[in-house]
Chain A
């Protein structure tokens, strides 16, 4: 069974631009969560989508948004990029939503660098 696939793996943008990251979950998984990982901060939860609906949201500004499609694939968008948005963005999928005991399965991430 294929794992969680994130594209692209690496991305370089400049301040003020916007970016879209993509995540394809494991087949059959309906929940997709997004995290921002930076040195010293660990993983910061961005949001979770389940069956095309956002179910949970972390403490990030409105510049960070996402959506989920009917095939469970998810995209994350960041507008008006800032230097502080440089990070590894991780996507994780699970069979059921975050309220369950199911573990999350992670992709290899998209490393976003802002110049």
Chain B
């Protein structure tokens, strides 16, 4: 079975500073990769996805992620965070023909 590891459970960062949220997955087979964001008392919203092609994908709210096949990673980045980015972020992996597997989440707190 696939496993997804989000290396940091909590990430505090000052407003307007850059941030990277790390995600590694176990399988080397062909996968689709996703990042979701969850605000308090809400479901998950899709931030971005990697299906194929360019390894750098851009999403909503200024976020981007880079797929690294050799390191089986899909780290999420934002060059300058805002208070409104405070939320829980989930990395998800879907091996082709299979179900979604989610990481345990990273809580991002933006400090004014």
Task: Choose among B34, B96, B102 the residue that contacts A103 (Cβ–Cβ < 8 A).
Answer: B34
8 A Cβ contacts from B27-86 to A: 32, 34, 36, 41-46, 49, 51
Chain A residues near B (Cβ < 8 Å): 4, 6, 33, 35, 40-43, 45, 48, 56, 58, 90, 92, 98-99, 101, 103-109
Contacting residues, chain B, for A56 (C-beta < 8 A) = 99
Question: Min CB distance, A15 to chain B, in Å?
Answer: 25
CA distance A101 to B57 in the complex (A): 15
Contacting residues, chain B, for A42 (C-beta < 8 A) = 90, 102-105
Question: Min CB distance, A7 to chain B, in Å?
Answer: 13
Question: Min CB distance, A56 to chain B, in Å?
Answer: 5
Chain B residues near A (Cβ < 8 Å): 32, 34, 36, 41-46, 49, 51, 90, 94, 96-105
Question: Min CB distance, A57 to chain B, in Å?
Answer: 9
Q: What are 16 A-B residue pairs whose CB atoms fall within 8 Å in the complex?
A: A4-B43, A33-B99, A33-B100, A40-B104, A41-B104, A42-B90, A42-B103, A42-B105, A45-B99, A99-B96, A99-B97, A101-B94, A104-B100, A106-B36, A106-B43, A109-B43
Structural contact, B49 and A108, CB atoms closer than 8 A: no
In the complex, given contacts A101-B32, A104-B46, A109-B43, what are 7 additional A-B residue pairs having Cβ atoms less than 8 angstroms apart? A42-B102, A92-B43, A98-B100, A103-B46, A104-B100, A106-B36, A108-B43
